[in-house]
Structure formats: C-alpha cells, structure tokens
Amino acid sequence: MESWASPDVPRLPGAGRPLALFDSATRQVRPTAPGAQARLYVCGITPYDATHMGHAATYMAFDLVQRAWLDAGHSVHYVQNVTDIDDPILERAVATGQDWREIALRETALFRSDMQALRALAPSHYVGAVESIPSVVRCIQALHARGSVYTVGPDRDGSAGPPGQDDLYFDVTSDPLFGEVSHLDEGQMLQAFAERGGDPHRPGKRNALDPLLWRAARPGEPAWDPEASGKGGLDIGPGRPGWHIECVAIAMDTLGMAFDVQGGGSDLLFPHHEMGAAHAEVMTGEWPFARHYVHTGMVGLDGQKMSKSLGNLVFVSRLREAGTDPMAIRLALAAHHYWHDWEWTDGGLAEAQARLARWRQAASLESGPDFEPTLARMRAVLSDDLDSPSALTAVDRWCDEALSRGGRDAGAPALMAAACDALLGVDLS
C-alpha cells in the first residue's frame, strides 16, 4: 500500500544517547538495543472513520522513538499496517450504505494526509490486511503444522458457511508463555477480550480466550479464497482473516522475529499484542516476537477514552480544516508523557499555540545563548523513556532566555530550530 511523503530529518552535531523505553512485558524501562538498523512495528488504523487525537498521540509517540534512534545513529525499518478489512468497516458500510472498500480507501487516504501534515516519518512498509491475505494463510498453515489450530462450526445464528468451511481458532494453551506480555490474570483477560473484539462465549471453542484466525465466508460479507495462496496441510475455505494474525503475518514478512519494538496504544496490550506474540512464537518455535512491547496511554475527552464507538472525537482533519497549525497539534501531544492517560482540552491546544509562536519568535532571532546545553538536555530526557514534556520545558527555558536577555551565539537559533525539527518533528520555519 502507498505510504506518505516523509519529512527530511536534519542531522545535529554530536549524537543522541541510546534510547530506553518502558517495556510492558518486563514492566521496566529498558534500553532498546537496536543493531545498526532499528526495527519497529506500530499497529495501524482500522479505517472506518477519521484520525482522532488519540490515534495522533500514539503515532506521534512512535515518531519520537524513531527520531531518537536516528539521532543516535541508527537507521530505522518502520512497518505499519492498515486493518482494511474487519467488522467495524463492514458495520459502517451497512450503517451508511457505502461500499466497505470505499470507506477503507477514503479513511486511509485521510490518515495519510493527517500524518504528512503532522510531519510523521513514513513507514518503509505500509501494509494492508487485504494485500496480506496470502501471508495470513501461510501463517495459519504453519500454526496448523504445530497443532494449534481447530475449527468451530456455525454460529448460534447459523450464519457460518457450509460444512467444511468452519471458522478457525487458535488454541491459546499451545503457547506455554501465554500471558508473558500483559501479565493479566484470567478474569482481567476475559474482560479485556470481551471488550476488544473477542468472543469468549462462542459455543464450540476449547478455551474462552481462543482468538479467531480465519472467519469463514458469510452471506453478504467479503471473502477471499485461500486456494490462491497455495495448498497447505489444512483445507481452508473462503473467508477473511482474524485481527491478530494479520499483524503477525505483516511483521513476519517485513521484520522477522525478535524485532526491536512492537507498538500501539494500551488498548492493544491485551488481547492484541498478547495473541500476536503467542501466534508468532508458536508458529516459529522462536522467542521473542518483539524485544519491547511499548504502549501509549489513552487520550480521552470529557472523562472518557476517545473512541470511534463512543463518538467523543476530536479529529486531526477537522482542526486542520479550521486552520489549526499541525505543529501546534504536535506540541499539544508532546506536552504529555507518552504512557500517561490524559484528556484532550481546548486549553491544552491554546497553550501549544502560544508555545509554538514563542519558539518561532526565538528561532528567528539573529543570535541567542549557546544552544548546546539545551540540546544535550533534550537528548538526555528523550532517551530516558521519551520524556517529551521535559524536552519542551528545556526549549522553553532557552527561548525565555533568548527573548529576554539575548545571547551572542549567531548559530544558536538555527541549531534550536534544527533540534526541534529533528528530535520533536516540529518545523519552526
């Protein structure tokens, strides 16, 4: 799938420090230890509605991760998926009378333009679920070879396909490490599973937590024929992929096992990232799927998680249409530490706009105080679990001094602008 145009990243003098991030699986801030090339997978959107501030906060956090790696001298292999076939898109299609493909294409295009406006670094692979179906089928065959796939017959409403075209499920007990990512107890897992796309009560499953791998064709739903993917040991009828196996197939195709960071919002910790790790590790017999599992906090509005299903959304595209500078949106997001839950407010955006104006004013000075100590401070706090609020405060201090007392360093304002661009993605020109 087409990605978007990536902004240039200026090179700064010296080099950033190795990046440490909070890993949900070990519950510690640990150094990310990428080789020359850092490998990152971030779970992408399900394109049935526009990008809201919660999505933007998540993608901007992983943008800062990449900028810290680049500053520390690594290249980055960044992969993001698009869940361009799943229940919410089909439900939206029914509700609006539109074709599901049209919805997915339109919302994905809007997401790309939002990301480009926010100056997000583009993924080197931007991959849709639909185009990954042959890989998904190969993964299911590999899981079958390990004995971890079973079939479940028609739904209670009888809507499953004809016999022989049952749904396919993954047996979570085939993974001895199941639970290693989220550390939730069974009750918490069951609750999260039910809330986030799982079907704990479906009759015929071996374990309530077993996730769907392949949904057999239902009348009126799109379906793909796995025959096109080549024969495997399991006879798979026409249907569509489950959610977790989609991200595993895409990550395995592009990054392989033991990539550096698997990222997404904290709503993906369970079941999505737990199931992904289980699928990949059972399928390959290797460990780990990802070296770090990194989760961003949930952004809310009016005391509730911002979510498409709740309808309490502030859209990036609406703010852009209303003339809000995307750089102010970035600053409003970076003012919160990435793993905190926080609330989007108009006041927060107004503060970011005032900050942006002040930073631009300071960047346009003919000289200022030496910026090197501020750059060192920005690098130190960002490398320490991506403390972006402290990085903003460091820049604020330099701007205060530059604007109140001035300084004699003629290169300082340009270095300050380059640092904001390279490390924070904020263009002050």
Residues at the site binding Zn ion, with contacts judged by CB under 5 A: 43, 247
355 is a contact residue toward ligand 5CA (CB under 6 A) = no
Measuring CA to CA, which residue among 166, 139, 129 is closest to residue 150? 166
Q: Is 66 in the site for ligand 5CA (CB under 6 A)?
A: no
- As measured in angstroms, the least distance from the Cβ of 51 to ligand 5CA is 8
87-96 CB contacts, 8 Å cutoff, 24+ apart: 87/197, 88/46, 88/48, 88/308, 88/309, 89/46, 89/47, 89/48, 90/221, 90/222, 91/48, 92/48, 92/49
Q: Which stretch binds ligand 5CA (CB under 6 A): 249-257, 303-311, 317-325, 329-337?
A: 303-311
Q: Which of 139, 189, 192, 247 binds ligand 5CA (CB under 6 A)?
A: 247
Stretch that binds ligand 5CA, among 54-62, 186-194, 372-380, 397-405 (CB under 6 A): 54-62
- What sign has the CA pseudo-torsion 143, 144, 149, 151? positive
- Residues 328-347 binding ligand 5CA (CB under 6 A) are none
Considering the rule CB under 6 A, would residue 24 count as an interface residue with ligand 5CA?
no
Tell me the residue ranges of DSSP E strands in 266-339: 290-296, 299-301, 304-305
CB nearer ligand 5CA, residue 237 or residue 265 = 265
Asked if residue 241 binds ligand 5CA (CB under 6 A), the reply is: no
**Do the beta carbons of residue 15 and residue 72 sit within 8 Å?**
yes
Candidate list 1, 24, 38, 46; residue touching ligand 5CA; CB under 6 A = 46
CB of 197 to Zn ion, least distance (A): 11
Residues 367 and 403: their CA atoms lie apart, in Å, by 10
Q: Which residue is nearest to Zn ion (CB)?
A: 43
Stretch that binds ligand 5CA, among 53-61, 169-177, 202-210, 212-220 (CB under 6 A): 53-61
Residue 265 binding target from Zn ion, ligand 5CA, none, CB below 5 to 8 Å by type: ligand 5CA
Closest of 206, 275, 282, 277 to residue 243, by C-alpha? 275
Q: Give phi and psi for 73, each to the nearest 5.
A: 95, 5
For residue 157, what are its two tokens? 């409403």
Position 65 contacts ligand 5CA (CB under 6 A):
no
Nearest Cα neighbor of 247 from 417, 84, 70, 63 is 84
User: Is position 296 an interface residue for ligand 5CA (rule: CB under 6 A)?
Assistant: yes
83 lies in the binding site for ligand 5CA (CB under 6 A): yes
46 binds, among Zn ion, ligand 5CA, none (CB under 5 to 8 A by kind): ligand 5CA
Which C-beta is closer to Zn ion: that of 248 or that of 356? 248
Choice from 1, 21, 40, 43 touching ligand 5CA (CB under 6 A): 43
Using the contact rule CB under 6 A, the part of the chain among 201-209, 298-306, 325-333, 413-421 near ligand 5CA is 298-306
CB of 309 to ligand 5CA, least distance (A): 9
- Tokens representing 387 are 């403390």
Q: Output Rg (C-alpha) for the chain, integer angstroms.
A: 23
- 81: contact with ligand 5CA by CB under 6 A: yes
Distance between CA 23 and CA 38 in Å, rounded? Answer: 16
Least Å from the CB of residue 62 to Zn ion? 13
* Secondary structure element (H or E) that encloses residue 81, with its range: strand 75-82
Indicate whether 57 belongs to the interface with ligand 5CA (CB under 6 A).
Answer: yes
Q: How far apart are CA 332 and CA 74, in angstroms?
A: 27
197: contact with ligand 5CA by CB under 6 A: no
Q: Report whether 53 contacts 299 (CB < 8 A).
A: yes
The listed partner (ligand 5CA, Zn ion, none) that binds 267, CB under 5 to 8 Å by sort, is ligand 5CA
Compute the least distance from the CB of residue 95 to ligand 5CA, in Å.
17
For residues 249 and 153, the answer to whether their CB atoms sit within 8 Å is: no
* Closest among 114, 142, 108 to 126, alpha carbons compared: 108
CA gap 395, 179 in Å, rounded:
41
Which residues bind to ligand 5CA, rule: CB under 6 A? Answer: 43-46, 54-55, 57-58, 81, 83, 247, 264-265, 267-268, 296, 298-299, 305-307
